[in-house]
Amino acid sequence: MSELTFYTHPMSRGRVVRWMLEEVGIPYTVETMEFGPDMKTPEYLAINPMGKVPAIKHGSTIVTEVAAICAYLADQFPDKKLAPPAASPERGDYYRWLFFMAGPFEMATSALAYGWKIDSSNAQSVGCGHVEDSINTLEKVLGRTPYICG
């Protein structure tokens, strides 16, 4: 099995990847990165040019972005059944909500946290629409079933 290194900080989005790694159940090495200069060294920028965590190195493959890392791990370890089978109809829900969280929902939570101005003057061109649109959409799908997919 290829060696897996997980670059993270405990107070970061890396927690999502940590959860995924534990679900996968493979051994991995943790490189804890400090916020600030530690993430901006040439060595780490070669892993993630954004200078951000999380990131993984699996063998010679580097993956950044929470959603991409989770999808990659699900595909690499299909026996764990953490994603619907390739080409199954459930793959539609899987992609839909994975990308929804990485795109609109991620943007909406930042907008909420930092008080970005999203109103009727710009909501139609902003990916998350009004912040409440993203939150209500997630609440609605989770209200139907505790499982978003499958």
Q: How far is the CB of 88 from ligand GSH (least distance, A)?
A: 25
Q: Is 52 or 58 the residue whose CB approaches ligand GSH more closely?
A: 52
Q: How far is the CB of 120 from ligand GSH (least distance, A)?
A: 27
Q: How far is the CB of 68 from ligand GSH (least distance, A)?
A: 8
Q: Is 65 or 93 the residue whose CB approaches ligand GSH more closely?
A: 65
For residue 14, give both structure tokens. 């890396």
CA-wise closest residue to 33 among 69, 12, 56, 9: 9
If 0-12 CB within 10 Å is exposed, 13-18 middle and 19+ buried, where does residue 116 land? middle
Q: Is 65 or 133 the residue whose CB approaches ligand GSH more closely?
A: 65
Task: Tell me whether strands 4-8 and 29-32 are parallel, antiparallel or unpaired.
Answer: parallel
Q: How far is the CB of 14 from ligand GSH (least distance, A)?
A: 7
For residue 113, give both structure tokens. 């946290």
Chain residues in the site for ligand GSH (CB under 6 A): 12-13, 35, 39, 51-54, 65-66
DSSP-derived 3-state class of residue 111: helix
